[in-house]
A and B are shown apart, each in its own frame.
Chain A
Amino acid sequence: MNEHRRQILQMLSEGKISADEAERLISALEERPSGSPAQGVSDSGTKARPKYLRVQVDAEDDGHDGPTKVNVRVPMQLLRAGVKLAGLIPPQALHRANVAIHEKGIPFDLSHIKPENLEELIDQLNDLSVDVDQADHATKVKVKVFCE
């Protein structure tokens, strides 16, 4: 059993993917000619890790203010340190923060952020790309979040 197939079965057993998704992934693996690496994966089997998270905001105002541009580049290392910082939040503060988050209707538990999940979390950001376009009668806002 090759490594990819083993990973898919592992994800299925952990409940991360459904049986249908596992079947699709396995059939995609079988369709791929053996020896050819997957798209975006290097010969060594590891993806090139992005170094920065980039946020770009372009706001065009039809009024007299003119356009506003925001460009932020955050090193991934800072995100790693930030997640570690979340692990330092005292339990009582964590509980209060979780309650506040749930009150806002966001189904997220800060206590699930653990250092052992950190690398997995950062790795998932590799494929992150968020594009938001908003066009009101007066303003047009474009937000782009991606890794590079």
Chain B
Amino acid sequence: MIPFVAVVSLRGRESRTLRVWVPLILLWLLLVPLAVLFSPLICIVCLACRVNPFRTFSVGWQILCALNDTELEVEHRSAGISICVF
């Protein structure tokens, strides 16, 4: 399943933490028409590069699905950022 939400936590100098829930599902919904629109162009580019376009779409989808549970945290004395994808 593709990730639906990303949680971005930002910590500033005053130790105040700002937590933002990003609804990725809205982003995917916005990108679907663009993906459909550009899919012929992507297919042409893939064929020009001698790459199977179906495999390209399949791998792209797999990468998107595999983003689930990815976590990145960077902590410093003055600031910190954490990104979790669910």
Contact = CB atoms under 8 A, between A and B. Distances in A.
7 contacts: A52-B69, A66-B77, A68-B74, A69-B76, A73-B69, A75-B70, A88-B55
- The majority secondary structure among interface residues of chain A is mixed
Contacts, number: 68
B59 to A, nearest CB: 5
Which of A70, A84, A88 gathers most chain B CB within 10 Å? A88
A110 to B, nearest CB: 15
B72 A81 contact: no
Interface of B: 49-52, 55-56, 59, 62-63, 65-78
Nearest to B72: A72
A93 B46 CA distance: 13
B63 A78 contact: yes
A80 B72 CA distance: 19
A90 interface: yes
A72 B56 CA distance: 27
A148 to B, nearest CB: 12
B62 A81 contact: yes
- The majority secondary structure among interface residues of chain B is mixed
A40 interface: no
Nearest to A67: B77
B49 to A, nearest CB: 4
Interface residues of A, number: 25
B78 A72 contact: no
A80 B66 contact: yes
B63 A82 contact: yes
A14 interface: no
B44 to A, nearest CB: 14
A3 interface: no
B76 A72 contact: no
B62 to A, nearest CB: 4
Contacts of B52: 88
A65 B75 CA distance: 12
B59 A84 contact: yes
Contacts of B63: 78, 81-82, 85
